[in-house]
């Protein structure tokens, strides 16, 4: 089987970002299949170009990656961000048609525009079209207030419905997304769930990350790490407020990642003279085990928006796989996972006081935190193991190609 994936924000293990698609692709390659990923030549987190002019091709552990030229305007403004999406939509189609004939074309959303690219390529090649839904666009943008124009909202929903109807199959990474699609009267047999997860073998829960900790949190009694994007949705301003409440307590907060809000957030921390906050920047996925080994707890946080209750954030499963307790400022389906497994503490989104109290609680009871961390790791091994999920993904693809 030859699979073509169009994914603007694709991240390899030596770059920052989620590596779900690389890990799934790597499993397919090891099973004898061929995978080509059409990706942007602009890093989705930093906005920096990551390849030479034109289209560049590379082989990463057997996975073929073709970088398509994209406007490096992701973090300038909403309008420029859309322009960047459209530029990739066009260049990814050209790159896909030059990449050879696949047996199956997979698009992944967001951004939803690359779903259009995948549909067109599947149409031209006369091959099945699999659409993966990783976030509910445009509903997230509407809830965030980023998309307000009624005409644009109407057109966005039409585009969403168009792609849902044209896809031969829909893949989701959260059970709540499946419910969302069913409410749109899509047939159940057309929707499959391969949840977000992590590879527990990539993390050692007994590691200490001494080198990383001595560099970024020397002398700290308790280290809390947020690893992820620094955008409007991530509510890092509340984390800055929490840090202000935790000054002189021995707690160090590490913010690992990048995004359009980073400069503003660093300014906030500097103006408040918060010495217990460090902006580490982006690290590759291969470095993440050491980062989490150096941490006493992992933090996941989003703004208090109804649609965010539907998400299964990847970072939560990484924290659990690393054997670290989760401090969760996100309600909904991921809260159910964390609380049912005893893997961490839930706090109300947007509540800096409650967040500070949860951190203090874990700092005062390290044995309790360690027990939470190991409970979370067991759940990842049993229910959210990326290796098992890769097998489910492969069976889905083979069924679609055979059909």
In this prediction, residue 146 carries a pLDDT of 81
In this prediction, residue 19 carries a pLDDT of 87
- Verify that 193 and 204 share a domain, yes or no: no
Q: CA 180 → CA 119, 177, 184, 278, 279, distances in Å?
A: 21, 5, 7, 38, 36
- Verify that 392 and 315 share a domain, yes or no: no
- Verify that 220 and 117 share a domain, yes or no: no
Q: Count structural domains, the chain.
A: 2
Instruction: For the chain, 403 residues long, give each residue's pLDDT as a single digit of tens.
Output: 999 999 988 888 887 777 899 999 999 999 999 999 999 887 666 666 765 555 588 999 999 999 998 877 666 666 667 787 888 999 999 999 999 999 999 999 988 889 999 999 999 999 999 999 999 988 888 888 888 888 988 998 999 999 999 999 999 999 999 999 999 999 999 999 999 999 999 999 999 999 999 999 999 999 999 999 998 899 999 999 999 999 999 999 999 999 889 999 999 999 999 999 999 999 988 999 999 999 999 999 999 999 999 999 999 999 999 999 999 999 999 999 999 999 999 999 999 999 999 999 999 999 999 999 999 999 999 999 999 999 999 999 999 999 7
In this prediction, residue 149 carries a pLDDT of 87
In the beta sheet, which residues pair with residue 192? 171
- Verify that 205 and 311 share a domain, yes or no: yes
In this prediction, residue 171 carries a pLDDT of 98
CA distance 394 to 194: 10
Name the phi and psi angles at 66, rounded to 5.
-115, 120
pLDDT in tens, 322-379: 999 999 999 999 999 999 999 999 999 999 999 999 999 999 999 999 999 999 999 9
- Verify that 18 and 58 share a domain, yes or no: yes
- Verify that 296 and 311 share a domain, yes or no: yes
Residue pointed to by tokens 């530029």: 87
Q: Which domain, by its residues, includes 330?
A: 200-383
Helix (H) / strand (E) containing 335: helix 333-341
Nearest CA to 312 out of 326, 297, 296 is that of: 326
CATH of the domain at 148: 3.40.50.2000
- Verify that 137 and 230 share a domain, yes or no: no
pLDDT in tens, 29-42: 999 999 999 998 87
In this prediction, residue 331 carries a pLDDT of 97
- Verify that 180 and 326 share a domain, yes or no: no
- Verify that 150 and 220 share a domain, yes or no: no
């Amino acid at each position: 089987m030859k699979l073509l994936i169009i994914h603007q924000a694709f991240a390899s293990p030596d770059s920052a970002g989620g590596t779900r698609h690389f890990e799934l692709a790597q499993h397919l390659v090891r099973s004898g299949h061929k995978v080509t990923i059409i990706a942007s030549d602009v890093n989705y987190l930093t906005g920096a170009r990551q390849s030479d002019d034109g289209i560049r091709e590379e082989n990463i552990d057997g996975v073929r990656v073709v970088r398509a030229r994209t406007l490096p305007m992701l973090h300038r403004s909403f309008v420029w961000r859309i322009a960047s999406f459209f530029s990739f939509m066009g260049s990814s189609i050209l790159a896909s048609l030059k990449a050879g004939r696949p047996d199956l074309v997979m698009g992944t959303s967001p951004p939803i525009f690359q779903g259009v690219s995948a549909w067109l390529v599947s149409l031209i090649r006369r091959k099945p079209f699999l659409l993966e839904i990783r976030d509910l666009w445009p509903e997230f943008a509407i809830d965030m207030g980023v998309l307000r124009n009624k005409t644009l909202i109407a057109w966005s929903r039409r585009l969403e419905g168009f792609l849902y109807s044209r896809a031969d199959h829909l893949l989701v990474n959260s059970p709540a997304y499946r419910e969302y699609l069913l409410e749109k009267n899509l047939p159940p047999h057309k929707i499959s769930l391969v949840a977000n997860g992590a590879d527990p073998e990539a993390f050692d829960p007994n590691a200490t990350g001494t080198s990383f900790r001595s560099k970024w949190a020397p002398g700290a009694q308790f280290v809390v790490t947020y690893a992820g994007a620094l955008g409007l949705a991530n509510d890092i301003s509340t984390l800055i407020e929490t840090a202000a409440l935790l000054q002189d307590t021995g707690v160090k907060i590490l913010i690992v990642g990048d995004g359009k809000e980073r400069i503003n957030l660093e300014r906030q921390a500097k103006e408040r003279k918060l010495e217990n906050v460090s902006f580490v920047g982006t690290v590759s996925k291969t470095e993440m085990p050491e980062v989490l080994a150096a941490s006493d707890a992992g933090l996941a946080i989003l703004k208090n928006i109804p649609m965010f209750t539907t998400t299964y954030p990847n970072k939560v499963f990484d924290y659990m796989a690393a054997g670290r307790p989760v401090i969760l400022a996100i309600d909904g389906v991921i809260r159910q996972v964390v609380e049912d497994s005893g893997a961490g503490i839930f706090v109300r989104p947007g509540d800096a006081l409650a967040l500070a109290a949860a951190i203090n609680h874990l700092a005062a009871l390290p044995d309790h935190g360690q027990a939470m961390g190991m409970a979370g790791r067991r759940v990842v091994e049993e229910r959210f193991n990326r290796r098992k999920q890769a097998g489910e993904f492969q069976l889905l693809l083979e069924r679609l190609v055979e059909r």
